[in-house]
Every structure is written in structure tokens, then in C-alpha cells.
Amino acid sequence: MLKIGCHLSVSKGFYEMGKQAVSINANTIQFFTRNPRGGSAKEIDEEDVRKFKELAKENKIEVLLAHAPYTLNACAATENIRNFAKNTMEDDLKRMEYFPGNYYNFHPGSHVGQGVDIGINYIVEMLNEIIKPEQHTKILLETMAGKGSEIGRNFEEIKEIMDRVELKEHIGVCLDTCHIFDGGYDIVNKLDEVIDEFDKIIGLKNLYAIHLNDSMNTLESHKDRHAKIGEGKIGIEAITRIINHPKLRNLPFFLETPNELEGYGKEIALLRSKYEE
Ligand code: FE
Ligand code: FE
Ligand code: ZN
């Protein structure tokens, strides 16, 4: 069965979020751990978590992917901003211990003119400070479109970060289809080659999740504007090949397309109809 879901809001609690997922036939869920612009997270309500877990079990919701606020920048030029990223991620990981065995995705960061090397140094330093041997959450580095000074614009940059993380069993990758297409990886015409390249550089065993998005812009545009499935430059045929690819088809997929709940429901139904059982 295709593991697919979408980005949902946890602002009304985990149980309400779970009910939304069930209503659109999703069996994965991504959510922002807090307001995407930062700020403090809601207190965990243990009863809410218990009810959510029951619902998830009944409905075979298998994977939870928490997404760090996208404004976090672990490699900012100012110490304040870097500390904020670190404290936020530490706090998020503490909360994720209520959901052992799931994933936490973050954008590596933007080096804002300091250069890739300095940026990567900061990211690695932060990861080595916050990753604990006893944690039960896998931290995923997201592949980025290379907008501005974003780090993670190619597989090599992601690989370098991973290589320098000490507790490697707690780190992995989330591949975003819109981002890598914008980054210059031609998943429309050369999907096999792109997957082979990923395998050669990062290793497919390190790939844990896919953000499934179409892109408003062309190959190598470095723009990062997500489109609805089938309405962008990647298109439904390429996306169908992606969800059915033997090396990807068992991974959890997460839609981050510009949709409300109803639109997500339609995309999930469409993609389920395209999946070869
Ligand atoms: Fe993201
Ligand atoms: Fe993404
Ligand atoms: Zn994006």
C-alpha cells in the first residue's frame, strides 16, 4: 500500500490532526512542530497523544514526520540566531520522544554569504551538540532547491554534513522532489540516473522520506515554488514513475503542495489510483 499523506496542522492537537488524516485517506502525516516562523510550541497533552496513537493504530497511520520551523537557521551569521535554532531543535526532539521511532526534518540552513564551508561547520557543530545516543527520533536533512545561499543544494553538501555527524545512526535524508528538480536533478527525463547518483553519493539506505511536490519552475531554476501534483513542470507522469519506482515505492511520501484539506484528499486519491499494488 502506498504510504502517502500531507502536511497538516497540529494546532488543535494530535488527535484532531489524526482525524483529518483519516478523513482524506492519508497514512502518513507531516506537521510543523510549532508556528513555522518559530515561537513556542504548545504543551504536550498526554491524553491527546494517547487518543492520537489509538486512532493512528486503528487506521494504520504509520509515519509521523515533524518539520522544524523553516525559518530556523543553524548556520546564521549571528550567534543569537544559531542558538535559537539549536534550542528550538533540542526542544522539538524532546517532544518527539512521545512518538518514538519517527522522523524530524529540517532545512540545513543558509550560510548568508559566509560560504558553504563555514555554514556546514556550524550545522555539524549544532547536530553534534544536540543528537543524543538515547534518542528515538531520526533527524532528516532536507535536500534544498539552492535558493539564495541555501546549504543542501546538491547531494554532496548533504553527504558532507552526514559524514561529519558523530552519531550517524540518528541522521538521514528527506528528498524533496520540487527542490531537487529546481536544484538541477532531472527527475522527469533521468529518474534512474538521479536515483543512482543519490545512491552513489549519499546511499539509498539513508533515505527515509520523500516530500512529493510538483514545481512551478523549470529544471535548475533554484526557486522553490511548489505546485499542485500534475500542475507543475514535473507533471503527473514523472510523479507516477517516482511513487512506483522500485527503489522509492516503499518510502513514506508527504505532499507539501499548495492545498487545503480537500485538495490534499484529491491528490492522495489520484496518487493511490496511480500506484501499482
Ligand atoms: Fe521543508
Ligand atoms: Fe519539502
Ligand atoms: Zn520547498
User: Is residue 197 exposed (0-12), middle (13-18) or buried (19+ Cβ within 10 Å)?
Assistant: middle
3-state SS string for 121-161: HHHHHHHHHHCCCCCCCEEEEECCCCCCCEECCCHHHHHHH
What region does 13 belong to: left with phi over 0, alpha with psi -120 to 50, or beta? left
- Ligand 3 centroid distance, CA of 226 (Å): 6
Going by pLDDT thresholds of 50, 70 and 90, the confidence category of residue 40 is confident
- The percent of residues in the chain predicted with pLDDT above 90, rounded, is 95
**Which residues are registered as beta bridge partners of 150?**
110
CB-CB contact of 234 with 214 (8 Å):
yes
Provide the pLDDT for residue 35.
Answer: 80
- Ligand 1 centroid distance, CA of 256 (Å): 8
Rounded average pLDDT over 217-243: 98
- Ligand 3 centroid distance, CA of 247 (Å): 23
- Ligand 1 centroid distance, CA of 153 (Å): 13
- Ligand 1 centroid distance, CA of 50 (Å): 27
206: number of Cβ within 10 Å: 18
Size of the chain in residues: 277
- Ligand 2 centroid distance, CA of 256 (Å): 7
- Read off the C-alpha cell for 61: 497511520
CA distance 119 to 87: 18
- Ligand 2 centroid distance, CA of 143 (Å): 8
Going by pLDDT thresholds of 50, 70 and 90, the confidence category of residue 41 is confident
Provide the pLDDT for residue 169.
Answer: 98
The predicted model scores a pTM of 0.97
Query: CATH number of the domain that 146 lies in?
Result: 3.20.20.150
Query: Which ligand neighbours the alpha carbon of 182 most closely?
Result: 3
Range of the domain at 93: 4-274
Rounded average pLDDT over 163-172: 98
**pLDDT single digits (tens) 81-132:** 999 999 999 999 999 999 999 999 999 999 999 999 999 999 999 999 999 9
Query: Which ligand neighbours the alpha carbon of 224 most closely?
Result: 3
Judged by DSSP in three states, 2 sits in coil
- Ligand 2 centroid distance, CA of 47 (Å): 30
Rounded average pLDDT over 186-198: 98
- Ligand 2 centroid distance, CA of 220 (Å): 16
Provide the pLDDT for residue 190.
Answer: 98
- Ligand 2 centroid distance, CA of 176 (Å): 5
What's phi and psi for 66, nearest 5 deg? -85, 140
- Ligand 2 centroid distance, CA of 147 (Å): 13
- Ligand 1 centroid distance, CA of 179 (Å): 9
In single-letter form, the type of residue at position 198 comes to: F
Q: Buried b vs exposed e over 52-85: b needs ≥16 C-beta within 10 Å?
A: bbebbeeeebbbbbbbbbeebbbbbeeeebbebb
- Ligand 1 centroid distance, CA of 142 (Å): 6
Going by pLDDT thresholds of 50, 70 and 90, the confidence category of residue 39 is confident
Rounded average pLDDT over 1-13: 96
Considering its fold, how many domains does the chain have in total?
1
Query: Which ligand neighbours the alpha carbon of 175 most closely?
Result: 2
Q: Residue for cell digits 519552475?
A: 217
- Ligand 2 centroid distance, CA of 29 (Å): 13
